[in-house]
Every structure is written in C-alpha cells, then in structure tokens.
C-alpha cells in the first residue's frame, strides 16, 4: 500500500474547518491510549479532564476566567501571525504587564477612588506595548529576527519579574514569601456574580475580540497586514509601509498581552506572585493556530485551551496525574493540527497494489 | 586577577558552552540542508529527561546518553515527517515541537524532579591538564566535553572537506538543482534533521547527567533558542559556532565571575545576561541585511517537494 499526496490546486474550504476538529479527535485518541498505557481507565480520565471541570455553573465561570488571558494574548498573536511577524513573546509581554500594573497598584493600596484601577491598567497595557515595541524596534531598525528577540525578551521578563518579587515589590508583612502585598479594593476588578470569581475583565476580552475582528476583516490596516503576510514583495510594490505595519502589529499584540497580565493580577489573583502565568503566552500560540488566526475561531480555541488547563488541575487533584498533562495535550494538538492542515492543499491518495497493476496494464499493451 | 581565577573561568566557560556547542552544531547541519528547526528546546528537554530517567533506573550513564540521543531523534523524526515530507510551515512545526517537547518532558519527568544522581565526573589527563591557564579548560573536563570536541572536529571536517558536506550544501542552497543532479533532497533533509535531533538529545543529556546531574522542569532555560541565535551569529560557519558557544558560555557564567570579584548584583538580574547578550549579538550581526542574506542557506525555511 502506498500513500501519496496529490495537490488539490486550491484550498479546500471544508478541510480548513475540519482540520482542527480532526486534530482534536486525534489528540483525544492519543490521550486515551496514553492513559491506558499509564494504567488509568481512558474514558474515565478523559471525562475528568474535559467534562468534570465544567459540570456546574461555577466551573463554567472558572473556564471563562482561564480563557480570558489566553484569548487576549491569542487575538494579538493572530494579528501579528497574519503579517508573518512571529511574535513568540506574548508570555513576556503578559509578565511585564502584570509587573507594571502591580508596581502601580502597590503604590495605590490606600487609594479608594476607582481611578486607581485605571492607572493600574494603563501601566500594564503600556508596559506590554513597550515590551513588544522593543522587539519591533529591534526588527525594523536592526533587522534582528523577531522570533529570537521575543523569546529572549520572555526570559528577560521572567527574570525581571522574579527580581521585583524577591526584591523591591516583596510584601514587607508577607513573612518572607515571594509575593507582593494584596492590592487595595479600588485596584481590583469588580466581580460580576456573587459567589464566583468571574470579573468584568471578560468584557475587555469581548471588546478586544470585536475590535480585532473589525481590524482584521474590515479595515484597510487588516488588509495591509494580510498582504504583507502573503507576499512581502507585493506589499512593498504597492507602497505599504512595512516598518509601520510591523510596529503596529507588534504593539497591538503587546498591548493585548499586557492587558491579559494586568487582568490576572487585578482580577483573580489580587497580588503579584511568581506563577502569575502558567504559560498562557505560549498556549496562545497554539490557540492562534488552532483558531485559524480568525478571531471567532480563536474564541473557541481559547475556551478549549482553558478547559485543558482546568482539566489538568482536576486530573492532578483527583487522579494524581502530573499537571504537565496540559502542556502535553497542547503540544499534541498543535502537532496534529499542522499535520492535518496538509489536507487543505493536498488530497490523500491511497494506492493499493491492484490499482497500480490496473494502471500499468494499458502501458504494457501499448509497448 | 590571578592565574587561578582565570583558569577557573576558562574551565567553567567551556563547561557552560558545551551544551550550546552541541545543539548549535546540530542546528547548523540542519540549516545547511535548508531546514529551519525551531524545536531545539523541545528536543533538548526530551533528551535531558529521558537521559536522566534511564541513567537513574539502570545506573548506567552511557545508556542514558545513548537513549537521550535516540529521544532527540524520535522528536526530530516527527518534525521531519510534518515539515519535510508534508511540506508544512517549518516555523510553525518547530514551535509545535518545542511546545510538545516541553509538555512531554515535564509530564514524564514529574516523578523524577529533585532526585539525586552521581553524574559524569571530570577526567583529568595527566601532564596535559597541568598546563598553566589552558590545561584545566581543555584537559580536565568530563568525557562528554571531550566528546563535544571530537564532534566539533567531525562536523567541521564533514562540512568543509567531504562530498557529504557538498551534498548538504547543494540541497540547502538550491534543492531543485540538487534534485536535478539526482540527489535525494528530502532524504538528505531528513538525515540532517535527525542529526540535529541527536545532537540536541545529547546536549540535553549533558545538562541532566553532567552539568547539573538532576532533572528539573524546563532545565534547559532557553539554551535551545540561544543556540539558534548562535548559528546566525556564526554566519553558518562551523568555526564561529565554536567561538560563539564559548562566548555565550562566558556570558552565562559572568555572574559567578562578578560574585567572585565581590561585586553584588541581584542574581535574577545577572541571570538575564545571556539573553541580553543574545539580543545584542543579533542586533550587531543582523544590522546589515545583505550580509545575513549572503551567508544564510538560500532555501532556508522553504519546503521542497519533488516534481515542482
């Protein structure tokens, strides 16, 4: 038996939508096999991972809380990825956003005016934007590869965060724990429903979703970004200013990642801690691809990713499985997706031995 | 500064530069064939965890090293299937490989975090290791460091002096012409990617079995990414890879040097140094776009399929 790929000649719209679903199914199957190999009942484990976390209303609100930072980061990444600007730095941009927001919030603990929250958010968003702007500057001014610079900036941001948590921002009354003081009430995002942790940050996320949708689907800027991604030379010939697009795409994605970071510290966490992000910025890369760089697709993908995070915690608590399960599933999902995406442009042909014989016969006659 | 201190710094510089050297050599070969594999970090971590678990379970360090190499190659094979044979976007595949490798290694390594292991010890060569200044750096290292010297020599020789090196370069520069000459482009690329995986696995094993004999989540701390920058730094030339690896090694231990000199800077700030150095180096080298384009393999990052 021989498998071969045959070009379709055009994109298959059906596969464009089916491929993420196929990748999801393959991930589930591989996961079930893995659990079986580890001696856990596969179906029960998948149930714990994917259904149990959202079996009540509280779980659903937790899902929204988790999806929020991932969604914000992924929306920004999608914009950059569309222009083929490989911003891998959402994690670092999120961390500096959280850091700057916290630094301001710590100064305003006793302030009771709601303006405190505005200042905290302004600081966080500005920091995220600046962090991405740094990568844009390095890219446009010095031609430095943005993949490598944004990755390096992630590690620098992480060390910067740790320096501040263990140093200047450490809570003097915190018994030496590496964490900042709790923010004042005025710097916290209001809770939407009593008894849950769901906060008004979800509105920011929905707003960002609509804004990015309009930007990429309906604006000239979005069109320019798309052309730049498809064909750099063409973009240059029609006179689009590449450098400006790079700056804008990176700064928008930095702003959104910074917003995600500051939402985390002023929302569910309420203070700055070293584990402010369990890799949301990296998860957002998977989410952006899984959602086809389309804002609506990304919404669904981020909910799925949030579910994996919640499920990972659930599986750790109830089944004693390592928390890293989330990362593993995330990696499998992205890998399967890329493999399945081949089917968008190619058709899979299975050649069986007798078929080949059939083709060969007329040739033999002719000879 | 006294001689002893300098000798110690040089010794630590080579030790710290070794994992970078190994990964960067692998990536260099891979990129020479026209494939950009951003999954180094993932393959390295997988190699590190497999090497540690095997060495811990069997008590044989060398078996650990061997299986770490195999582990790196298994991940590299996955990458090659999707990126070389299915023509997927190499950047996306590389990112996927790293995300997958990070997740996989933390998942299987959970039970081994913090377990103690006696790793590779140093093996001083009599007489030679007594040479002032350079003796300790070159002749009082562990066996894997000596192996990295040998591998550097072999890779350098193959790339510069053999037919294999020419084939590799032909495939990376112009796959269509190489194919027309009858070279199996995809197979060459597959083998180059596998070699890269093997080297990344070995580098991982060096970290978890010799450099700091233990397993910790994300213990590579971005070395796979730094190695990618190193290849750019080296302008795809093998001698410069060696130079760059040790320079970065030096940047990574600068905090030890400064602490030794009594300068007190918070360790978290010093830990940023290698990453800052990477950015600075990228800036210095990429400023001239023409130069980068001249040295980079022409088809780097572009999938190639027969009959097109």
The pLDDT value recorded for residue B233 is 83
Cβ contact A319:B81 at 8 Å = no
| Residue A241: pLDDT over 70 | yes
| Cα B301 from Cα B172, distance rounded (Å) | 10
Q: What is the mean pLDDT of residues A94-113?
A: 93
A86–B106 CB contact, under 8 Å: no
Cβ contact A336:A26 at 8 Å = yes
Cβ within 8 Å of residue B238, ≥6 positions away: B25, B28, B152, B155, B156, B159, B160
Q: What is the mean pLDDT of residues A189-198?
A: 87
* Token pair of B221 as six digits: 């701390």
| Residue A353: pLDDT over 80 | no
Q: How far is A339 from chain B (nearest CA, A)?
A: 6
Weakest mean pLDDT among A118-127, A229-238, B141-150:
A229-238
**B215 half-sphere exposure, CB direction, 13 A CA radius:** 26
B74 near A CB under 8 A: no
* Token pair of A326 as six digits: 């989330």
CB-nearest to A156 from B99, B101, B275 is B275
Q: What is the pLDDT of residues A256-286, one digit of tens each?
A: 999 999 999 999 999 999 999 999 999 999 9
Cβ contact A165:B306 at 8 Å = no
A344 near B CB under 8 A: no
The pLDDT value recorded for residue A2 is 61
| Residue A363: pLDDT over 50 | no
- Residue found under tokens 């309009």: A214
Classify domain A41-320 by CATH architecture.
Orthogonal Bundle (1.10)
What DSSP assignment string belongs to chain B? --HHHHHHHHHHHHHHHHHHHHHHHHHHHHHHTT---TTHHHHHHHHHHHHHHHHHHHS-HHHHHHHHHHHHHHHHHHHHIIIIIS---HHHHHHHHHHHHHHHHHHHHGGGTT-----PPB-PPTTGGGSTTHHHHHHSSBHHHHHHHHHHHHHHHHHHHSHHHHHHHHHHH-HHHHHHTT--HHHHHHHHHHHHHHHHHHHHHHIIIIIS-S--TTTTTTHHHHHHHHHHHTTT-HHHHHHHHHHHHHHHHHHHHHHHTT----HHHHTTHHHHHHHHHHHHHHSSHHHHHHHS-TTTT----TT-
Per-residue HEC secondary structure of B230-269 comes to: HHHHCCCCHHHHHHHHHHHHHHHHHHHHHHHCCCCCCHHH
A338–B92 CB contact, under 8 Å: yes
A143–B89 CB contact, under 8 Å: no
Q: What is the pLDDT of residues A4-14, one digit of tens each?
A: 778 887 888 88
A335–B96 CB contact, under 8 Å: yes
CB-nearest to B272 from A5, A145, A156 is A156
Q: Which residues pair with A81 in a beta bridge?
A: none
Give the residues of chain B that fall short of pLDDT 70.
1, 308
Torsional sign, CA B5, B6, B11, B15: positive
Top-confidence residue, A105 or A358: A105
Q: Which of A3-7, A116-120, A331-335 has the highest mean pLDDT?
A: A116-120
A142–B268 CB contact, under 8 Å: no
Cα A136-A140-A146 angle, rounded to 5 deg? 50
The pLDDT value recorded for residue A75 is 96
| Cα B277 from Cα B272, distance rounded (Å) | 9
Q: What is the pLDDT of residues B143-158, one digit of tens each?
A: 899 999 999 999 999 9
The pLDDT value recorded for residue A366 is 40
Backbone angles phi, psi at B122, to 5 degrees: -80, 150
- Residue found under tokens 């991982």: B204
Q: What is the pLDDT of residues A127-149, one digit of tens each?
A: 999 999 999 999 999 888 898 89
The pLDDT value recorded for residue B98 is 92
Top-confidence residue, A97 or B261: A97
Per-residue HEC secondary structure of A93-127 comes to: HHHHHHHHHHHHHHHCCCCCCCHHHHHHHHHHHHH
The pLDDT value recorded for residue A354 is 61
The pLDDT value recorded for residue A356 is 52
Question: What is the C-alpha R_g of chain A?
Answer: 23
| Cα A95 from Cα A155, distance rounded (Å) | 10
Cβ contact B14:B245 at 8 Å = no
Q: How far is B178 from chain A (nearest CA, A)?
A: 22
* Token pair of A63 as six digits: 């899902």
Q: What is the pLDDT of residues B54-82, one digit of tens each?
A: 999 998 999 999 999 999 999 999 999 98
Predicted confidence band at A18 (pLDDT cuts at 50, 70, 90)?
A: confident
Residues of chain A neighbouring B224 (CB-CB closer than 8 A) = none
User: In chain B, where are the structural domains located?
Assistant: 3-295
Predicted confidence band at A342 (pLDDT cuts at 50, 70, 90)?
A: confident
Per-residue HEC secondary structure of B155-185 comes to: HHHHHHHCHHHHHHHHHHHCHHHHHHCCCCH
The pLDDT value recorded for residue A204 is 92
Q: Environment class of residue A13 by beta-carbon count within 10 Å: exposed (0-12), middle (13-18) or buried (19+)?
A: exposed
CA B164 to chain centre: 21
A156–B276 CB contact, under 8 Å: yes
What DSSP assignment string belongs to A247-259? HHHHHHHHHHHHH
The pLDDT value recorded for residue A60 is 92
Nearest residue to A138 (alpha-carbon basis) of B276, B31, B27: B276
What DSSP assignment string belongs to A149-200? HHHHHHHHHHHHHHHHHHTTTS-TTSTT-S-PPPPPGGGSPPBSSTTS--BT
A152–B276 CB contact, under 8 Å: yes
3-state secondary structure of A46: helix
CB-nearest to B92 from A155, A162, A289 is A289
DSSP character at residue A52: G
Element (H, E) at A7: strand A2-7
| Cα A84 from Cα B197, distance rounded (Å) | 26
Element (H, E) at A128: helix A115-142
- Counted across chains A and B, CB pairs separated by less than 8 A come out at 141
The pLDDT value recorded for residue A358 is 47
B276–A286 CB contact, under 8 Å: no
| Cα A137 from Cα A139, distance rounded (Å) | 5
B276–A334 CB contact, under 8 Å: no
B153 near A CB under 8 A: no
A144–B89 CB contact, under 8 Å: no
User: In chain A, where are the structural domains located?
Assistant: 41-320
Nearest residue to A312 (alpha-carbon basis) of A293, A288, A328: A328
Reply yes or no on domain B3-295 having CATH 1.20.120. no
Predicted confidence band at A367 (pLDDT cuts at 50, 70, 90)?
A: very low
Q: What is the mean pLDDT of residues A212-239?
A: 87
B276 near A CB under 8 A: yes
B289 near A CB under 8 A: yes
Top-confidence residue, A156 or A228: A156
Q: What is the pLDDT of residues A27-85, one digit of tens each?
A: 999 999 988 888 888 888 889 888 989 888 899 999 999 999 999 999 999 999 999 89
* Token pair of B155 as six digits: 């890779």
Mean of all residue pLDDT scores within chain A? 88
The pLDDT value recorded for residue B299 is 85
Angle between helices B163-173 and B3-32 (to 10 degrees): 60
Nearest residue to B293 (alpha-carbon basis) of A143, A150, A87: A143
3-state secondary structure of A349: strand
Q: What is the mean pLDDT of residues A238-248?
A: 89
B87–A160 CB contact, under 8 Å: no
Residues of chain A neighbouring B92 (CB-CB closer than 8 A) = 289, 334, 338
Predicted confidence band at A175 (pLDDT cuts at 50, 70, 90)?
A: confident
Q: What is the pLDDT of residues A106-115, one digit of tens each?
A: 999 888 888 9
| Residue A345: pLDDT over 60 | yes
Residue in A with minimal Cα distance to B82: A339
């Amino acid at each position: 038996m021989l498998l071969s790929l045959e070009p379709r000649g055009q994109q298959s719209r059906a596969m464009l939508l089916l491929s993420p679903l196929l990748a999801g199914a393959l991930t589930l199957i591989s996961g079930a096999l893995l659990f079986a190999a580890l001696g856990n009942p596969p179906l029960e484990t998948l149930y714990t991972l994917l259904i149990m976390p959202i079996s009540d209303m509280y779980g659903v609100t937790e899902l929204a809380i988790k999806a929020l930072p991932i969604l914000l980061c992924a929306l920004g990444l999608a914009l950059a990825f569309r222009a083929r600007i490989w911003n891998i730095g959402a994690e670092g941009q999120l961390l500096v956003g959280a850091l700057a927001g916290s630094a301001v919030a710590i100064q305003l603990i006793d302030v009771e005016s709601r303006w405190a929250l505005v200042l905290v958010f302004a600081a966080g968003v500005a920091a995220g934007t600046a962090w991405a702007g740094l990568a844009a500057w390095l890219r446009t001014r010095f031609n430095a590869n943005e993949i490598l610079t944004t990755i390096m900036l992630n590690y620098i941001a992480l060390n910067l965060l740790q320096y501040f948590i263990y140093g200047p921002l450490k809570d003097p009354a915190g018994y030496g724990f590496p964490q900042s003081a709790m923010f004042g009430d005025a710097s916290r995002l209001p809770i939407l429903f009593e008894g849950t942790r769901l906060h008004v940050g979800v509105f920011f996320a929905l707003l960002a979703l609509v804004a990015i949708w309009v930007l990429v689907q309906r604006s000239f800027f979005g069109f320019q970004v798309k052309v730049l991604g498809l064909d750099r030379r063409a973009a240059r010939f029609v006179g689009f200013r590449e450098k400006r697009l790079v700056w804008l795409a990176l700064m928008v994605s930095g702003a959104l990642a910074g917003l995600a970071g500051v939402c985390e510290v002023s929302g569910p966490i309420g203070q700055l801690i070293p584990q402010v992000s369990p890799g949301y910025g990296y998860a957002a890369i998977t989410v952006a691809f899984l959602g086809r760089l389309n804002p609506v697709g990304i919404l669904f993908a981020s909910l799925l990713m949030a579910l994996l995070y919640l499920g990972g915690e659930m599986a750790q608590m109830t089944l004693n499985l390592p928390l890293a399960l989330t990362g593993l599933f995330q990696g499998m999902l992205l890998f399967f997706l890329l493999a399945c995406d081949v089917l968008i442009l190619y058709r899979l042909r299975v050649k069986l031995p007798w078929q080949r014989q059939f083709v060969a016969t007329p040739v033999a006659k002719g000879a | 500064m006294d001689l002893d201190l300098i000798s110690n710094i040089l010794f630590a510089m080579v030790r710290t530069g070794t994992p970078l050297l190994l990964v960067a050599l692998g990536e260099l070969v891979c990129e020479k064939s026209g494939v950009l594999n951003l999954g180094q970090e993932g393959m390295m971590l997988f190699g590190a965890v497999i090497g540690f678990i095997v060495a811990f379970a069997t008590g044989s360090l060398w078996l650990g090293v061997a299986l770490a190499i195999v582990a790196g190659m298994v991940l590299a094979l996955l990458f090659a299937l999707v990126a070389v044979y299915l023509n997927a976007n190499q950047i996306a595949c590389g990112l996927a490989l790293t995300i997958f490798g990070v997740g996989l290694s933390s998942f299987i390594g959970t039970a081994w975090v913090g377990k103690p292991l006696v790793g590779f010890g140093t093996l001083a060569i009599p007489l030679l290791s007594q040479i002032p200044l350079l003796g300790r750096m070159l002749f009082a290292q562990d066996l894997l460091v000596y192996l990295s010297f040998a591998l550097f020599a072999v890779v350098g020789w193959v790339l510069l002096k053999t037919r294999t090196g020419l084939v590799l370069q032909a495939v990376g520069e112009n796959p269509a012409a190489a194919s027309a000459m009858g070279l199996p482009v995809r197979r060459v690329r597959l083998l180059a990617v596998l070699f890269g995986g093997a080297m990344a696995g070995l580098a991982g094993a060096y970290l978890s079995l010799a450099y700091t004999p233990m397993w910790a989540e994300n213990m590579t701390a971005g070395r796979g990414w730094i190695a990618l920058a190193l290849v750019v730094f080296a302008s795809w030339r093998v001698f410069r890879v060696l130079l760059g690896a040790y320079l970065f090694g030096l940047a990574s231990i600068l905090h030890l040097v400064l602490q030794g000199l009594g300068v007190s800077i918070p360790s978290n700030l010093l830990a940023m140094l290698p990453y800052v150095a990477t950015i600075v180096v990228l800036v210095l080298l990429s400023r001239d776009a023409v130069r980068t384009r001249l040295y980079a393999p022409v088809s780097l990052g572009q999938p190639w399929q027969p009959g097109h």
